[in-house]
Structure 1
Amino acid sequence: MKNLFHKWNQISLVKRILVGIIAGILLALLVPDGAKWVSIFGSLFVGALKAVAPVLVLFLVIDAISKQRSGAKTNIKSIIGLYAISTFLAGFVAVVASFVFPVKLSLVTGAEDLTPPSGILEVLQTLLFNIVDNPINALINANYIGILAWAIVLGIALKSANDTTKTLLSNVSDAITTVVKWIISLAPLGIMGLVFDAFVTNGLSSLMEYGKILALLLGCLFFIALVVNPLIVYVYIRQNPYPLVFRCIRESGMTAFFTRSSAANIPVNMNLCEKLGLNKDTYSVSIPLGGTINMGGAAVTISVLTLAAVHTLGIEVDFGTALILSVLSAVSAAGASGVAGGSLLLIPLASSLFGIPNDVAMQVVAVGFIIGVLQDSCETALNSSSDVLFTATAEYAKKRKEKKNVVIKSA
């Protein structure tokens, strides 16, 4: 039994996850009632990731900043720039696609009890209050903006601490990282439970009625992941971007697709950054930050569903006004994690740009929840995998620039 377990662990994690996916599908199709206990593995896996992620972020960032030498350089500014460019382009692509392939909705009801933000100021206010949140409350509620803020402040304060304290912080950080690796090794079981639950609970029949809007959304998300983001990476590193792109999708996007949680995928992304040999001082900050502000998938969702409402109501919109939507959706998407309901509840905010009444906009939100089985999964996969992609891109671009400068000096 021990040898069998050892051989199983020697197989690559991606292949083991694929086995879990197939097993989950087969169990859902063959014994949907007799294997309901399987879904508990998915709940436990997501719960474990969500539990460890806030603590991981807190100690990794404190450890990285407290040990950072004066004058040490990280790539955070470049990474934030990449996040902003990608999120804006995602919204822009969604606007263009919505004009080329206009889709109308059969509006439904059932979203009246949800409360969207009243304006962009409310979104920004929520973000600001998250920054000054109580640290214990931030950890309990997985408020990563608050966790990052406290971790940065504590890390700076501990820069003058003695070596014993810094060693303790480093040991705790390493211990939590080890726990994360143990949890990730259980991903095949967790994914099997999530797949089983998704097939038994939702199926695919409910998506047929909304096939057109779902196809437009997924088409935009895939275009961003496979065309726009690789182009951005190529501009920075001047190399074939697809090996890195596909690795991020395979090892980060696949897990995010099934967990449907950027927060739960933070430990997975940290682990992938370590395997890629990236600077820990950089990725310990950029990955949790990306989980909050790198929201290209959310920008796509906001733009596509808002313009679907515009087309449904027959509102005449020039492309210039729609372009403003790209900016608004990018800014709103960055605040999506601070709003209950995520990107879907920011649709009324974007709809107000075109004078669409709130009750109609909330019906569009309801449509979003109906197609959310696939939409939310693909959106999260794009958002989370691109966190690693752009963190790696910034570091590779820096190394390329340094190598170029060395060649110029030697010449």
Structure 2
Amino acid sequence: MSWISSYFRFPLIWKIAIGFVLGAIVGLLVGPSIAVIRPLGTLFLRLLQMLVVPLIFFTLVVGAASVSPSRLGRVGGKVIVYYLVTSAVAITLGVLIALAVQPGAGLLMPAEAPEARTPPALSQVLLEIVPTNPFQALSRGDVLAVIFFALIVGLSISAMEHAGDRRVKEQAGLLFRLSQGATEVMFRIVRGVLEYAPFGVFALIAVTLGTVGVRALVPLGKLTGVVYGGVALQIVFYVVLLKLFRQGIRRFFSAAQDPMLTAFVTRSSSGTLPVTMRAAERLGISESIYGFSLPLGATVNMDGTALYIGASVIFVANVAGVSLTPAQLVGVIVTGTLASIGTAGVPGAGLIMLSLAITQAGLPMGPVALVAGIDAILDMVRTMCNVTGDLVGTQLVAATEPGLEAEEAQATSVAR
């Protein structure tokens, strides 16, 4: 039918934007009863989440196997340093802005404190990166364990490709091409899922605003302003980094707008991963770079969440009437940066990090109830910041590895 063809030809970003605006209007007009369409949004999230584990596995295998072990070590080092530095900058920014604004001043402690979810110890998080059963990790969606196992497989294929035995090289080439084919299959599924995105976006936004309502932002308007303003400054920081590395700002954000908007409405870094990878392709970034950096970033790079943690800790301290010492503030920054390693890129995971930071600072958990009331609104913008930071880091690392494409071409010809 002609209208179906017209729908598929219409730019995706505009379809998503229309779904977002209509969803906001309908949600505010209808109110809580709009929750009846929640399954439409849940379906979109499930479709995205369906792709996460296989996409992470195959793209990381291809990424790790595409370059020599020494080259991968250099790329990986750059990615990890970038993620740690930008997360530290983000949480520091959140703390400083909140200290200036004092978002929780004048608010009262809630009558009952919510039951806090105890976050796992950092040592336990690090140990669980190594799976005792890789197939169980794949089936359960343990992203960090899947990342570790995929890197081991990819590095082993890379080592096989550089072995002296011709038979081993041929086997490596077969495994490499199989992983490439599986990755292409996943990307084709991604393109199909994205055509449903406008309907999922409509439902997600309508239910969120219909349930929370505009008035829910009033008592926490300052905290919302701090988080949204802090994210805006963090994106300015990204622009400065892109400028320093002489990358085109307009070209970057033209490609990044799809994953940024998808992250905003889905509130899931991991769920947005297929869209982020597609944006990296549009930017001309090598798969051996984005296949490593983006899956890793969706799990360990949480700039927006780190900023939210910094601002929320100050908010909780204001509500509790506690003045944090410089040592406590430094502890919050360090804890928030390290805790991002174990934070899943799924909606609401930031509350686990917040509980950890609150406990570390010695603050009461009661005021967290206030933050939890608008967590969905804050989660939208912080997830968008998370995904943008992942893509910026990938672009910067790619800019410092100009000879990678030639090396890949040579490796592929040898594999064949």
Out of 218, 221, 224, the residue aligned to residue 234 of structure 2 is 224
Note if contact 2:259-2:275 (Cα within 8 Å) is conserved in structure 1.
yes
Segment drifting more, 306-315 vs 237-246: 237-246
Task: Report the CA distance between 1:64 and its aligned residue.
Answer: 3.2
Does residue 1:197 correspond to 2:197, yes or no?
A: no
Note if contact 1:124-1:335 (Cα within 8 Å) is conserved in structure 2.
no
Cα distance change of structure 1 residues 84 and 33 upon mapping to structure 2, 3 Å threshold: closer
Tell me what 2:398 maps to.
395
Tell me what 2:246 maps to.
238
Quick one: distance in 2 between partners of 1:149 and 1:211?
Answer: 41
Tell me what 1:374 maps to.
377
Out of 328, 338, 350, the residue aligned to residue 357 of structure 2 is 350
1:71-220 matches, cutoff 5 A: 72=71, 75-104=75-104, 105-108=107-110, 111-117=113-119, 122-159=121-158, 160=160, 161-220=171-230
User: Where does structure 1 lack aligned partners over 5 or more consecutive residues?
Assistant: 403-411
Quick one: distance in 1 between partners of 2:34 and 2:324?
Answer: 51
Quick one: distance in 2 between partners of 1:314 and 1:22?
Answer: 39
Quick one: distance in 1 between partners of 2:62 and 2:361?
Answer: 47
Secondary structure of 2:367's counterpart equals helix
Secondary structure of 2:265's counterpart equals helix
Cα distance change of structure 1 residues 102 and 40 upon mapping to structure 2, 3 Å threshold: same
Deviations 1:245-304 (A, max 9, x none): 4642x2111101111111111111111111211110111111111011111112112211
Tell me what 1:297 maps to.
304
Quick one: distance in 2 between partners of 1:401 and 1:177?
Answer: 22
1:278-297 matches, cutoff 5 A: 278-297=285-304
Quick one: distance in 2 between partners of 1:367 and 1:315?
Answer: 16
Cα distance change of structure 1 residues 169 and 349 upon mapping to structure 2, 3 Å threshold: closer
Segment drifting more, 167-176 vs 127-136: 127-136
Quick one: distance in 1 between partners of 2:279 and 2:77?
Answer: 21
Task: Report the CA distance between 1:128 and its aligned residue.
Answer: 2.2
Quick one: distance in 2 between partners of 1:137 and 1:116?
Answer: 24
Task: Report the CA distance between 1:353 and its aligned residue.
Answer: 4.4
Residue type of the alignment partner of 2:115: D
Task: Report the CA distance between 1:14 and its aligned residue.
Answer: 0.7
Cα distance change of structure 1 residues 109 and 50 upon mapping to structure 2, 3 Å threshold: farther
Tell me what 1:260 maps to.
267
Residue type of the alignment partner of 2:306: A
Residue type of the alignment partner of 2:396: T
Deviations 1:136-181 (A, max 9, x none): 3322332211111111122233443253443333222211121111
Aligned residue-pair number: 391
Cα distance change of structure 1 residues 157 and 333 upon mapping to structure 2, 3 Å threshold: closer
Task: Report the CA distance between 1:98 and its aligned residue.
Answer: 2.0
Secondary structure of 1:75's counterpart equals helix
Cα distance change of structure 1 residues 174 and 213 upon mapping to structure 2, 3 Å threshold: same
Residue type of the alignment partner of 1:336: T
Quick one: distance in 2 between partners of 1:311 and 1:22?
Answer: 35
Residue type of the alignment partner of 2:238: N
Tell me what 1:408 maps to.
none
Quick one: distance in 2 between partners of 1:136 and 1:365?
Answer: 37
Residue type of the alignment partner of 2:76: I
Secondary structure of 2:213's counterpart equals coil
TM-score where L is the length of structure 2: 0.84
Tell me what 2:279 maps to.
272
Note if contact 2:129-2:148 (Cα within 8 Å) is conserved in structure 1.
no
1:356-367 matches, cutoff 5 A: 356=363, 360-361=364-365, 363-367=366-370
Note if contact 2:310-2:333 (Cα within 8 Å) is conserved in structure 1.
yes
Note if contact 2:119-2:353 (Cα within 8 Å) is conserved in structure 1.
yes
Tell me what 1:407 maps to.
none
Cα distance change of structure 1 residues 241 and 110 upon mapping to structure 2, 3 Å threshold: farther
Note if contact 2:260-2:387 (Cα within 8 Å) is conserved in structure 1.
yes
Quick one: distance in 2 between partners of 1:126 and 1:54?
Answer: 19
Deviations 1:37-68 (A, max 9, x none): 64332111110100111111111222333444
Tell me what 1:330 maps to.
337
TM-score where L is the length of structure 1: 0.85
Cα-Cα RMSD? 2.9
